[in-house]
Amino acid sequence: MSESARPLIFVTNDDGVQAAGIAALIRLATEFGDVVAVAPNESYSGMSHSITMQRPLFVSAVSSEPGLEVYSCTGTPVDCVKIGFDEILGDRRPDLVLSGINHGSNANVSVIYSGTMGAATEAALYGIPSIGFSLTDHSPAADFTAAVHYAREILARTLALPAERLAGLCLNVNVPDIPFSDIQGIRVCRQTRGNWREEFVHRTDPQNRDYYWMSGRFYNFETEAEDTDEWALRHRYVAVVPVQMDLTDYARLDTLRDHLSRPGLPREI
């Protein structure tokens, strides 16, 4: 990208192309560059990194004006990134990918279930810097004032990084659902360790078939750890976690290599 050119910013989400969060993010992104947005035609929350393989994908133009193109896709957030990069953008390559603004938190281990972050990590696999933004308010009518303010600050600072530090960068940004004036600032931290424990409501439909509604809650294993995203959110900070797609357990790599690869172990099970 030349110094005089506007960056090309790709925008997507998992709440659907009509969600208030992506509308706010698109408006913000146009302040920084030309925007192409490809988002699901309906909510695909919780789809993580899933892709569509057993049915065709349909893409429809929603709107077009100088510097802004918006498309709807019948696939998942990751589908939107893939078809956006490979078909819609053509020879163009985005300088940055933004996903969100999600209605609801994607902090802690929720990052692995999140369609918002699935899209962001997919972009990072292409070597393109990406940021997933979430507001810890599930309401369709959520107030995105604070989220947009801090997204603007994070976006500006990210674009100012040297090119060698941008390649493959992926950030998970969560903004607490509190009054703007109460937010204490930005805190770079790590993912909180914990897990989700599901609860299912069991019901029977008019045809006497059993069905279940899933709910549950997050159990925080380190409530007092001050370097985690949950601690930051609880103490009124915007939590920024750099994430990566390499799932190798490096702490155990050498031990397992020595134990499982040494001569003398049976080669057949």
Paired tokens of 94: 């985005």
pLDDT digits (tens, 9 = 90+) for 215-243: 888 888 898 999 999 999 999 999 999 99
In this prediction, residue 259 carries a pLDDT of 84
Paired tokens of 151: 């997204």
Average pLDDT for 244-268: 82
* Domain parsing of the chain, residue ranges: 8-193+223-261
* Range name among 167-171, 190-194, 258-262 with the lowest pLDDT average: 258-262
pLDDT digits (tens, 9 = 90+) for 74-100: 999 999 999 999 999 999 999 999 999
2 vs 57, more confident = 57
Average pLDDT for 114-134: 97
Cα separation values, 36 from 33, 60, 95, Å? 10, 13, 11
**Rounded CA gap, 41 and 145, in Å?**
25
DSSP helix, strand, coil percent of the chain (3-state; round to 5): 30, 30, 40
* Mean pLDDT value across the chain: 93
Fold of 8-193+223-261: Stationary-phase Survival Protein Sure Homolog; Chain: A, (3.40.1210)
